[in-house]
Amino acid sequence: MKFRSSLVVLASLVSAALSATVADVIADTRNISTQVTNLDNAANAFPNTGGSLVAALAIHTDVMNLRSAFDKGTTDIISASPKPFSEADGTTLLDIVEGFEPILLDALKVLIAKKPAFQALPISGIPTLIKQDLINLNASANTFENQLIASLPPDLVAAAEAIKTDLGTIFVNAIAAYQ
């Protein structure tokens, strides 16, 4: 009996340690915003002609960092409680997302426009790598968006869904550009 109650206490402690708070989700969303800016800066800095393999791989790294940020945000949203998030927390999260949405849209548009520059690199696999990055990033962003929408107060859902639709459209276009 003593072993069983010790096991229950241990399980509760582990569960509490693995739980995220809404503050964690807000911090994750701010990190996503930072990673979006990093990607946008790298994409815009890549020249239309004469780009380097190093700069192209830096964009790949920025995409991977952004994807990891989305994945961590998703994990923390899933484990955070209570849900739905409070009106104040939901508004804070939506404000952050609304802030990085145009930056992410720009980054994806720039990647579409710079496909010829990536194709001109001496290693032919960079466009394929970028296409796979876009597919994976879209999946991570979509999962994050779905979890966020499911956790927001009902009056904030429509705005979040509109952002999801806008991002979904540009991701489809970006992925198609690299077909």
pLDDT tens readout for residues 166-178:
999 999 999 999 9
Asked whether residue 54 is domain-assigned, the answer is yes
* pLDDT at residue 63, rounded to an integer: 98
* pLDDT at residue 103, rounded to an integer: 98
* pLDDT at residue 114, rounded to an integer: 98
Closest CA to 110 of 59, 61, 53: 59
Asked whether residue 15 is domain-assigned, the answer is no
Asked whether residue 1 is domain-assigned, the answer is no
Asked whether residue 158 is domain-assigned, the answer is yes
Which tokens go with 24?
């964690």
Cα 48 from Cα 9, distance rounded (Å):
59
Asked whether residue 135 is domain-assigned, the answer is yes
Interior/surface letters 50-64, b for 16+ CB within 10 angstroms, e for the rest: ebeeebbebbeebbe
> What SS3 state is found at 83?
coil
Cα 6 from Cα 101, distance rounded (Å):
47
* pLDDT at residue 115, rounded to an integer: 97
* pLDDT at residue 8, rounded to an integer: 45
* pLDDT at residue 1, rounded to an integer: 55
* pLDDT at residue 9, rounded to an integer: 44
Asked whether residue 123 is domain-assigned, the answer is yes
Could you give the number of structural domains in the chain?
A: 1
Asked whether residue 48 is domain-assigned, the answer is yes
Tens-digit pLDDT profile for residues 123-159? 889 999 999 999 999 999 999 999 999 999 999 999 9
List the chain pLDDT tens, one digit each, 179 residues: 555 555 444 444 344 446 999 999 999 999 999 999 999 999 999 999 999 999 999 999 999 999 999 999 999 999 999 999 999 999 999 999 999 999 999 999 999 999 999 999 998 899 999 999 999 999 999 999 999 999 999 999 999 999 999 999 999 999 999 99
Range of the domain at 168: 20-177
List, as own/partner pairs, every contact residues 81-87 make where C-beta atoms lie below 8 angstroms and the sequence separation is at least 24, other chains included: 81/19, 83/150, 83/151, 84/151, 84/152, 84/153, 84/154, 85/22, 85/25, 85/151, 85/152, 85/153, 86/22, 86/153, 87/153, 87/155, 87/156
Cα 179 from Cα 3, distance rounded (Å):
58
* pLDDT at residue 2, rounded to an integer: 59
Asked whether residue 56 is domain-assigned, the answer is yes
* pLDDT at residue 3, rounded to an integer: 53
